[in-house]
């Protein structure tokens, strides 16, 4: 079927809240390229929203999935366990920088991982409250919608959210929230809303994902760790988007040297196969009773096989080094755009987690969401998938596969530059 026929079916049968606004349908993909149902070639700078750090259909991952399909597709690991689950747990325990010996539970999505992290924290502390941050994004389930630091579009239409979730400001100096402001805000939240003795955990992204790719400083993360220790609260770090090599480390928190109690991860774990994980200190992870964690599909044998293959690819192809190198290339090009275009400001990257803001006025940092959307739309028309994000909808974020070929990277960046020239006033 072609794009037009598929769009007709989408309009008729797919719920509007779940339907993509895109009119092209993926037919096949390889590394950083997608071909649609009409045969058009498209460069992918979105990577399934940070899921494809090792590229579409990495051969090693595809082979691992095929091999697993010849063995076991599903048993439900709580009924009949299998090697893949425990091997993934072993690897993640060894690689994840939590305090002490790590233990692992696997789930299906980032939101599930965050839900279970909160469950574990409540069981370990006997407390209910959770503190999150402005601009944070943790998922689309009810608990994670309550935890999100942004209402639209995730929670706009769905009524009351769960309670015992409180908010503190995330440090974004560019938008007038200094590190000192953020820490004072967190301390005020503990004084006015969330009594520390009733608070199970502080949950934060070391680099905001949907909130705009703003990285918290090592000193801020260390201060949060100290506040958690002072009050017996757990520190939960959400690495769903920033993890698995996006920032040049396996996890973004490693840039700070801080060891959380729990880390959640998903997205690029399995190169497109659905899986997530909660990794935490053993005593914390063992706090709840038998059969209290899990689900029918959690830690699928096929997804576990893909995860193990991804971890091999990271070693064999030096993905972390490639992420640093890609980030340097992006940073260099962004810096040139910031000089050349009046609308490009606040360029930034941590490894290959890279972005810049589109503004109407650099002096006042005035967001220009309309121009941001127009750049994304025109880029799609020219054969490039590009995503925006941020509280103000004016951040262009770049999540192309770390394995992208250099000529494809430069072709995609040239398209962005042309779009900026056509739509903005340099």
Q: In this structure, what CATH number is given to the domain that contains residue 385?
A: 3.90.1150.10
292 and 217, same structural domain? yes
Give the closest residue to 283 by CA, choosing from 98, 132, 143. Answer: 98
Return the SS3 of 67.
helix
The domain boundary, picked from 316, 339, 356, lies at 316
Average pLDDT of span 342-366: 97
Residue 11 has pLDDT above 60, yes or no: yes
d(CA 147, CA 90): 29
CATH classification at residue 303: 3.40.640.10
344 and 312, same structural domain? no
Identify the pLDDT of residue 108: 98
384 and 287, same structural domain? no
Q: pLDDT by residue (tens digit) across 290-334? A: 999 999 999 999 999 999 999 999 999 999 999 999 999 999 999
14 and 67, same structural domain? no
d(CA 30, CA 223): 43
345 and 216, same structural domain? no
Contact 130, 121 (CB under 8 A): yes
d(CA 8, CA 1): 11
How far is the CA of 244 from the CAs of 96, 157, 167, 214, 380, in angstroms? 10, 33, 27, 18, 27
The structure tokens 């895109």 sit at 22
d(CA 376, CA 413): 13
Assign 425 a pLDDT band (cuts: 50, 70, 90): low
Report the greatest alpha carbon distance in the chain.
62
Q: pLDDT by residue (tens digit) across 108-117? A: 999 999 999 9
d(CA 232, CA 302): 38
Contact 57, 30 (CB under 8 A): yes
Kindly state the tokens that stand for 86. Answer: 């425990």
Q: Which domain holds residue 183?
A: 62-316
* Number of domains comprising the chain: 2
d(CA 373, CA 385): 12
Identify the pLDDT of residue 344: 98
């Amino acid at each position: 079927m072609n794009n037009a026929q598929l769009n007709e079916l989408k309009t008729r049968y797919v719920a509007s809240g779940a339907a993509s606004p895109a009119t092209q349908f993926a037919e096949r993909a390889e590394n950083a390229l997608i071909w649609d149902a009409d045969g058009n070639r498209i460069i992918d700078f979105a990577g399934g929203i940070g899921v494809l750090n090792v590229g579409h259909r990495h051969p090693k991952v595809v082979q691992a999935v095929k091999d697993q399909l010849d063995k076991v597709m599903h048993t439900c690991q709580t009924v009949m366990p299998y090697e893949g689950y425990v091997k993934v747990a072993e690897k993640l325990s060894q690689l994840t920088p939590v305090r002490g010996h790590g233990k692992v539970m696997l789930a299906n999505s980032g939101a599930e991982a965050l839900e279970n992290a909160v469950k574990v924290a409540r069981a370990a502390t006997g407390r209910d409250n959770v503190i999150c941050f402005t601009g944070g994004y943790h998922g689309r389930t009810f608990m994670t919608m309550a935890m999100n630091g942004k209402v639209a579009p995730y929670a706009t239409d769905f009524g009351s959210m769960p309670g015992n979730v409180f908010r503190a400001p995330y440090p974004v100096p560019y938008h007038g929230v200094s590190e000192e402001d953020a820490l004072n805000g967190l301390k005020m939240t503990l004084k006015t809303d969330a009594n520390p003795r009733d608070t199970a955990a502080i949950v934060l992204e070391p680099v905001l994902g949907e909130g705009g790719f703003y990285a918290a400083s090592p000193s801020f993360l260390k201060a949060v760790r100290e506040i958690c220790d002072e009050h017996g609260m757990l520190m939960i770090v959400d690495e769903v988007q920033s993890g698995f090599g996006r920032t040049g480390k396996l996890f973004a928190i490693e840039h700070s040297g801080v060891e959380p109690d729990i880390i959640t991860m998903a997205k690029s774990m399995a190169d497109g196969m659905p899986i997530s994980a909660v990794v935490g200190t053993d005593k914390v992870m063992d706090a709840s009773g038998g059969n209290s964690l899990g689900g029918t599909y959690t830690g699928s044998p096929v997804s576990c096989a893909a995860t193990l293959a991804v971890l091999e690819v990271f070693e064999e192809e030096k993905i972390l080094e490639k992420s640093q190198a890609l980030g340097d290339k992006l940073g260099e090009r962004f810096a040139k755009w910031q000089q050349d275009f009046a609308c490009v400001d606040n360029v930034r990257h941590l490894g290959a987690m890279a972005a810049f803001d589109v503004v109407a006025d650099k002096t006042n940092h005035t967001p220009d969401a309309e121009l941001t959307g127009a750049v994304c739309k025109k880029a799609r028309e020219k054969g490039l998938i590009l995503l925006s994000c941020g509280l103000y909808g004016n951040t262009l974020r770049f999540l192309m596969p770390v394995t992208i070929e250099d000529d494809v990277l430069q072709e995609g960046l040239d398209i962005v530059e042309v779009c900026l020239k056509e739509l903005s006033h340099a």
